[in-house]
Structure 1
Amino acid sequence: MGKRIIVDPITRIEGHLRIEVEVENGKVKDAWSSGQMFRGIEMMLQGRDPRDAHHFVQRSCGVCTYIHALSSVRAVEDACDIEIPENARIVRNLLHGAQYQHDHIVHFYHLHALDWVDIVSALSADPVKTAKLSENVSGRPQKAAYFKEVQTRLKTFVNSGQLGPFNNAYWGHPAYNLPAEANLMAASHYLEGIKLQAKAARMHAIFGGKNPHPQSLVVGGVTSVRDLTPERIDEFFAIWKETKAFVDEVYLPDLLAVASFYKDWGGIGGNNDTYLAYGDFPQKNINDDLLLPAGVLMGDLVPKAVDTLKITEDVTRAWYEKGSAKHPYEGETKPIKGEVSYNTDDKYSWMKAPRYAGKSAEVGPLSRVLVAYTGGHKQVKALVDHALKTLGVGTEALFSTLGRTAARAIETVVVGDAMEGWIDTLKSNIAAGNKKTYQPWTMPDKGRGFGLNDVPRGALGHWIDIEGGKIKNYQYVVPSTWNLGPSDGENQKGPVEKSLIGTPIADPKQPLEVLRTVHSYDPCIACAVHVIDPHTNETYKVRVI
């Protein structure tokens, strides 16, 4: 038996995640992913008005707020056979696009980059050489004086004995490959990204009222009709333009520059054969002509149509009462009462194990890009081929930790480009006097519906069963449950667990390589698990033994 390594909690994510790996002969032999808290929002929704559901579910997380509300209203609209007006579709797309621009920038620079960039190494960089590197790599080159100023700020952190956001990392680890000048350039963009992400979040406030938890979504459309003025649209456009420039001139070039020093990671962190994408950004309606296409790859490179009836959740290895794998319409949320025991040979997570046609399926940017690329999406194909050619690697490198990280940047460009067209169409509609943003409707006595939404972290689905005009059952399957869920009744591991197996570990006491692959999925455990007792509001105590 190999050596067991436990990273608990995983930092630079949303929520509480425990990763345990078994290392043998310098590589991960086995892995277990555990969500350490219980989510009970589905239980809170039973008996409530379906029109209120989106207000509850967007509280699943303080980051992924809008996207849960969008899936929820889509589920109710499906159950009630509602088709929203064109302006509502465009506003929803713009808000969703703003989420992509914001989240992917934050993920690359502030959650994932420190797995590849050694901040302390930047202290020894030559600012003059860094400026020359910037001229060759970045679409927004800076002078030596700029990098000298950034370096001084970093030294202030270190000399104070408090690294601030750069604390608790494995600086100096042998797996860091970037030269000091590349580290300094990336660190400067880290700081730029902090300022930009605050501006990007304002896009939600313009048409959504506020961020987090935008308030303009309603079943039947959006309520932001008073915000659809030339001035407000121009304000949104200005922030989009600045964000788009950063993506094109800084984010994508940085991604390719950093990746060029880590080409070996094009062969690490894959190990999955099923990739699922719901697709999103409807150009006409929710079911067809999606900017990011829907599809599933199952052991080949031919995308097939998604059949939502093939989706189930297994609870064999999760801390729920025993039961068979169920489709979300029949899904149950019945946690084990009392204390639970962490046992990798039995139950070890609060997350269920979603499966598609019985298979463990990866969701997220890599799945979306693979489905689009293999399906012939022209822009995605051009961007992917450019990245592969620049790095001098083959398509096999896509199925990896490196490919997963690159896919985020690629789709950020695609979504950002499309937003300009939506802004222009919205502006034209308003100028022509078309301001309709809501479709009146009547609540049926009974109905079933689901709302699919491919969000920055992956495939998100909400399912609702209405009876007597109230919610009879409500279930949602989130991206991090797909990716970080445990083994199932067939002992089939989840995507993250599979991806970690085979990963080389240079120093078991500093498992930086584990963090690289885990962070490449951008875990958001807050929407996968939550802590609440719906009867007493008492927090569950989870003891790990």
Structure 2
Amino acid sequence: MAKIVVDPITRIEGHLRIEAEITDGRITDAWSSSTMFRGIEKILKGRDPRDAWFWTQRFCGVCTTVHSIASIRAVEDALKIKIPPNAQLIRNIIIGIQNVQDHVIHFYHLHALDWVDVTSALKADPAGTSALAASLSDWPNNSPTYFKSVQDKLKSFVASGRLGPFANAYWGHPAYKLPPEANLMATAHYLEALEWQKDVIRIHAILGSKNPHPQTFLVGGMSIPIDPDSQNALNADKLMEIKRLLKKAQDFVEKVYIPDLLAVASFYKDWAAIGGGVGNFLSYGEFPDAAGNQWLPQGAILGKDISKVLPVDQKKVAEYVDHSWFEYKNGPEKGLHPWDGESEARYSGPKPPYEYLDTDKKYSWVKAPRYDEKVMEVGPLARVLVAYASGHKEAKAAVDMVLNKLGVGPEALFSTLGRTGARGIDCLLVARQTPKWLDELIANIAKGDYRIHANEKWDPSEWPAEASGYGWHEAPRGALGHWIKIKDQKILNYQAVVPSTWNASPRDAKGQRGPYEAALIGTPVADPAKPLEILRTVHSFDPCLACAVHVVDAAGNEVIRVTVS
């Protein structure tokens, strides 16, 4: 038995450490540890609730939009504010393009290199790559000349002695299965996606003034004015530019991302039986209309049983700290609901031992959220499963299309491959739906409806003396919740339970593994010095928590250290 330590996991946001025991070439146990403390909840206490969204988007450098909307929804829930339809539609468009851009970035720039061997692309026949790409879609950049130019660019990287963005990886690893032509195609699209995502996210600049950290969210609606006759407001020209960019986003998803996903997945069908994890899934639902009905449904699935979707009750959410570097005032045995959550680092033990963690005790700055005391996976897989099992028409059609093309059944969804595929399905659904919200917005404006704010309860004198609320959002990475308590017009307590808190959680009071930990059990590892397989499963969740690997023997002695990408 050997113990591998991957610290930090790279191609993610933040700092994540994975320890894993390997016996006979497979992972038999695993521990997920975040080595970074976050304290913004403490900063929020005593502040104006209407400002919370501006602070909470600083939780992360890339997840800014999602924390804004969850925070605002929490305050609106506490104060019982209903926003006008235009504000809801504008928010849906902002959230929608955030989802699409985020998924494309994840697939190509954070996860694809776990499956794509860039150096193999140097041996590809550009004409063969062109024929492969043309068989998948009618994307314009499918010519042999184009793929030859990408290959030449790669060769120049190699000739210079530097691989640029493709450095520090396990090139040539025996777990790579794609032929050279498929590797060249995927590498070319990796580079294209870099340029594409810069353009489509300009929608945030139009509707939110900037990206990241949008500026136009407000409790009660939006602050961007609508005026067809003003260049300083949302007018016809800007709406048509948004329409163009949404079309560009949809085209890339349909003609590049999804075909690449299916092509890559067809070579890795064995991964449809790896990385299944806890088997419980939670989705908060997303994209409400003016009446509050969600386009993507809310629900929970237990034990991989997609024959029924259970309703979600926010009162059943609690966080445990038995294996986290926190101590609750009344002890760790009982979890705390977020309204009563504590973020004090009252760890009374020695300094957290980052060199080698005592995984029998406290080993992470992440708490352990549980739903009705159950471990839940959140993210695109949960979102797609809940929609599929709920009979969501578009979701069912997209899932069936992917399963049919790959020749696998629904059980394949419960895996590393299924998690990666579900992200593409989720992206496709939203890329097709977001233009429809824009059309609704345009129709409202055409009827003379320019309202973007509720204009109620903005004055704190109208608020109750005490109020509690929660805001849920299905962020690209999964179920995100913000909980707020307000007293005397100030924030009394604030807690955020983010997607990676659910997925990266350590063990709880019952010893139940978190989703990362559970998903790694049974994963094959061909070479402990190059644990590519660990990266595949962990990256399939898209952790938001960052590059050296330590390998130790069962006694904890380091035997080798390698750099990881």
Alignment deviations for residues 164-214 of structure 1 (CA, whole Å, 9 cap, x no partner): 111111000000000000000000000100001111221111100100100
Paired residues of 2:277 and 2:516 also in contact (CA < 8 A): no
Whether 1:402 aligns to 2:417 is yes
Whether 1:339 aligns to 2:345 is no
Question: For residues 172 and 377 of structure 2, what CA distance do their matches in structure 1 show?
Answer: 32
Structure 1 runs not aligned, ≥5 long: 527-545
Give the AA of the match of 1:295.
G
Question: For residues 452 and 197 of structure 1, what CA distance do their matches in structure 2 show?
Answer: 26
Give the AA of the match of 1:367.
A
SS in 2 for 1:376: coil
Following TM superposition, by how much is the alpha carbon of 1:83 offset from its aligned partner in structure 2, in angstroms? 0.1
Give the AA of the match of 1:365.
P
Paired residues of 2:84 and 2:290 also in contact (CA < 8 A): no
Question: For residues 277 and 77 of structure 2, what CA distance do their matches in structure 1 show?
Answer: 35
Whether 1:376 aligns to 2:376 is no
Whether 1:519 aligns to 2:534 is no
Q: What does 1:112-261 correspond to in 2, within 5 Å?
A: 112-140=111-139, 142-226=142-226, 227-261=233-267
Following TM superposition, by how much is the alpha carbon of 1:432 offset from its aligned partner in structure 2, in angstroms? 1.8
Following TM superposition, by how much is the alpha carbon of 1:379 offset from its aligned partner in structure 2, in angstroms? 1.0
Paired residues of 1:139 and 1:250 also in contact (CA < 8 A): no
Question: For residues 44 and 231 of structure 1, what CA distance do their matches in structure 2 show?
Answer: 41
Question: For residues 358 and 450 of structure 2, what CA distance do their matches in structure 1 show?
Answer: 57
Aligned to 1:266: 272
**Paired residue for 2:436, among 414, 421, 424?**
421
Following TM superposition, by how much is the alpha carbon of 1:415 offset from its aligned partner in structure 2, in angstroms? 0.9
Alignment deviations for residues 361-385 of structure 1 (CA, whole Å, 9 cap, x no partner): 0000000110111111111111111
Q: Does the C-alpha gap of structure 1 residues 139 and 355 become closer, same or farther in structure 2, counting only changes over 3 Å? A: farther
Aligned to 2:66: 67
Whether 1:365 aligns to 2:380 is yes
Following TM superposition, by how much is the alpha carbon of 1:271 offset from its aligned partner in structure 2, in angstroms? 2.6
Aligned to 1:435: 450
Question: For residues 157 and 353 of structure 1, what CA distance do their matches in structure 2 show?
Answer: 43
Paired residues of 1:103 and 1:456 also in contact (CA < 8 A): yes
Aligned to 1:539: none
**Paired residue for 1:282, among 288, 291, 295?**
288
Give the AA of the match of 2:482.
H
SS in 2 for 1:360: coil
Give the AA of the match of 2:477.
R
Following TM superposition, by how much is the alpha carbon of 1:139 offset from its aligned partner in structure 2, in angstroms? 3.4
Paired residues of 1:101 and 1:200 also in contact (CA < 8 A): no
**Paired residue for 2:298, among 285, 294, 298?**
294
Q: How many residues in Structure 1 have an aligned counterpart in Structure 2?
A: 523
Give the AA of the match of 2:312.
V
SS in 2 for 1:525: coil
Following TM superposition, by how much is the alpha carbon of 1:235 offset from its aligned partner in structure 2, in angstroms? 1.1
Q: What does 1:500-539 correspond to in 2, within 5 Å?
A: 500-525=520-545
Give the AA of the match of 2:313.
D
Following TM superposition, by how much is the alpha carbon of 1:336 offset from its aligned partner in structure 2, in angstroms? 3.1
Alignment deviations for residues 37-67 of structure 1 (CA, whole Å, 9 cap, x no partner): 1010110000110011001000111111011
SS in 2 for 1:29: strand
Give the AA of the match of 2:37.
F
Following TM superposition, by how much is the alpha carbon of 1:140 offset from its aligned partner in structure 2, in angstroms? 1.0
Paired residues of 2:284 and 2:299 also in contact (CA < 8 A): yes
Question: For residues 211 and 401 of structure 2, what CA distance do their matches in structure 1 show?
Answer: 35
Whether 1:3 aligns to 2:18 is no
Paired residues of 1:228 and 1:430 also in contact (CA < 8 A): no
Structure 2 runs not aligned, ≥5 long: 227-232, 547-565
Provide the aligned C-alpha RMSD in A.
1.1
**Paired residue for 2:479, among 438, 459, 481?**
459
Whether 1:310 aligns to 2:330 is no
Following TM superposition, by how much is the alpha carbon of 1:13 offset from its aligned partner in structure 2, in angstroms? 0.4
TM-score, with length taken from structure 1: 0.95
SS in 2 for 1:492: coil
SS in 2 for 1:224: coil
SS in 2 for 1:284: coil
Alignment deviations for residues 491-520 of structure 1 (CA, whole Å, 9 cap, x no partner): 000001000000001111100000000000
Question: For residues 126 and 419 of structure 1, what CA distance do their matches in structure 2 show?
Answer: 38
Alignment deviations for residues 519-543 of structure 1 (CA, whole Å, 9 cap, x no partner): 00000119xxxxxxxxxxxxxxxxx
Aligned to 2:552: none
**Paired residue for 1:319, among 317, 325, 334?**
325
Whether 1:107 aligns to 2:117 is no
SS in 2 for 1:225: coil
Give the AA of the match of 1:159.
A
Paired residues of 1:139 and 1:253 also in contact (CA < 8 A): no
Aligned to 1:328: 338
Following TM superposition, by how much is the alpha carbon of 1:413 offset from its aligned partner in structure 2, in angstroms? 1.2
Aligned to 1:20: 19
SS in 1 for 2:451: coil
SS in 1 for 2:139: coil
Q: Once structures 1 and 2 are overlaid, which stretch shifts more, 260-269 or 294-303? A: 294-303
Paired residues of 1:500 and 1:514 also in contact (CA < 8 A): yes
Following TM superposition, by how much is the alpha carbon of 1:225 offset from its aligned partner in structure 2, in angstroms? 1.3
Following TM superposition, by how much is the alpha carbon of 1:249 offset from its aligned partner in structure 2, in angstroms? 0.5
Paired residues of 1:269 and 1:517 also in contact (CA < 8 A): yes
Q: What does 1:479-498 correspond to in 2, within 5 Å?
A: 479-498=499-518
Question: For residues 420 and 43 of structure 1, what CA distance do their matches in structure 2 show?
Answer: 39
SS in 1 for 2:110: helix
Paired residues of 2:279 and 2:414 also in contact (CA < 8 A): no
Q: Once structures 1 and 2 are overlaid, which stretch shifts more, 466-475 or 218-227? A: 218-227
Aligned to 2:557: none
Alignment deviations for residues 306-354 of structure 1 (CA, whole Å, 9 cap, x no partner): 1111100000100001432111011111113572233111011000000
Runs of 4+ in 1 over 4 A off after TM superposition: none
